[in-house]
Amino acid sequence: MAGRLKQPSPLTTEGRWGVLLALPAIIGFVAFTLAPMIASLVISLTDWTIGGKPSFVGLANYKRMFTADDSFYKSLWATLYYTLGAVPLLLIVAFAVALLLNQPVRGQAVFRVIYYLPAIVPIVANSMLWIWLFNPDFGLLNTVTEKAGLPRSQWIFDESTAIPSLVLMSVWGFGNVAVIFLAGLQGVPRQLYEAISVDGGGTWRKFRHITLPMMTPTIFYSLVTGVIGALQVFVQAAVMTEGGPNDSTLFYIYYLYRTAFTNNEMGYASALAWILFLVIMAVTVVLFRNSSRWVYYEAGSTR
């Protein structure tokens, strides 16, 4: 009708408020994530050193990576080896500790604080501590193994034991994962345990048929984040081993860092970064596609 003012709909108003409130996050994503990614993709197609003029080389950096760079394969294998060792071990230890911390015992809060303390220590400080623990001459670990009648080890100072030693060290930071598992355990419905108790089920059947299935979404989340984090391991190589001995701990991110800021090859380092991004994306897709086989959701459908 002529002369009748059109009133703005509540949905439109809510939509505007939604965009307005999300705008800082969108601007942050574009400025600090999307734009640097696009820039690194362009740089990966150039031969550029800081302070110099970039020259376009097409896919030459990627060709060099796959055909003429042994360090690329060494770093890829070292990172894969570390990931395959550290992630399962960390999940198992964190889950076992979470089961213990979920028990109704006196001083439960104190135990939870004690077990979480290593997780809040900065990784560099942890690395310095573990350098002393791994010292083959006067380190605590060799002292313990000698007392137990076991042979001494060179730990991170030997090519064959360097990565297993860092895998052992990774368990030290189980606190964050244990807290996530503990939250998941406390979300398991109590009536399920009561029902299986009525049927005569013991501790093992409760764990096998209730706890484990109900925890699979939490385990899956921890697995995905753990794999992504392990594929980007850096500090241990930078602080403790500098990639040695004999490049046995030349983790991918450390190799990328060394290429960019020691060798000053920004174009090649950007190409390395993009290959790692594709590897992480491929691994994540594979994990999600296979999750329907073992992850149980309470709603009755896998997602």
Contact yes or no for 17/11 (Cβ under 8 A): no
In this predicted structure, what is the pLDDT of residue 303? 46
- Average pLDDT on 86-109 reads 92
- Angstrom CA distances, 176 to 82, 93, 179, 283, stand at 19, 12, 5, 22
Question: Which residue's entry shows tokens 């990784």?
Answer: 123
DSSP summary character for residue 107: T
The angle, 0 to 180 degrees and rounded to 10, between the axes of the packed helices 175-186 and 108-120 is 140
Return the pLDDT at 288: 95
Distance (Å, rounded) from C-alpha 90 to C-alpha 280?
Answer: 19
Q: pLDDT at position 46, please?
A: 94
d(CA 210, CA 155) in angstroms, rounded, equals 40
- Mean pLDDT over all residues of the chain? 90
The answer to whether residue 5 scores a pLDDT higher than 70 is no
Query: Tens digit of pLDDT for each residue in 238-261?
Result: 999 999 899 999 999 999 999 999
The reported pLDDT for the residue numbered 105 is 84
Q: Given a cut of 80, is residue 11 above it in pLDDT? A: no
φ, ψ at 56 (rounded to 5°):
-70, 125
Average pLDDT value for residue range 90-111: 90
What's the rounded Cα separation, in Å, for the pair 142 and 114? 25
**Could you report how far apart the first and last alpha carbons of the chain are, in Å?**
49
The span from the CA of 115 to the CA of 95, in Å, is 13
Three-state secondary-structure class, residue 169: helix
Residue 10: asked if its preceding bond is cis (omega within 30°), the reply is no
Count of residues for the chain? 303
- Indicate the residue type of 209: H
Nearest to 220 by CA among 293, 282, 156, 157: 293
Tokens for 24, please give them. 């800082």
Is the pLDDT higher at 155 or at 298? Answer: 155
CB 83 within 8 A of CB 227: yes
**Contact assessment for residue 180 and residue 222, using Cβ atoms and an 8 Å cutoff:** yes
* 71-292 topology per CATH: MetI-like fold (1.10.3720)
Residue 58 contacts by C-beta under 8 Å, 6 or more apart in sequence?
45
CA distance 115 to 99: 13
Give the per-residue pLDDT at 4: 56
At 47 the three-state DSSP class reads strand
pLDDT of the residue at 1: 47
pLDDT tens by residue, 52-94: 888 999 999 999 999 999 999 999 999 999 999 999 999 999 9
pLDDT reading at 197 higher than 50:
yes
* Paired tokens of 71: 């360090």
Phi-psi region of 216 (alpha: psi -120 to 50; beta: other; left: phi over 0): alpha
Q: Is the model's pLDDT at 27 over the cut of 70? A: yes
Summarised one tens digit per residue, pLDDT across range 160-184 is 999 999 999 999 888 999 999 999 9
Q: List the one residue out of 118, 296, 83 whose CA is nearest residue 209.
A: 296
Residue 60 in contact with residue 47, Cβ under 8 Å? yes
Each residue's pLDDT tens digit, 117-145: 888 888 889 899 999 999 998 899 999 99
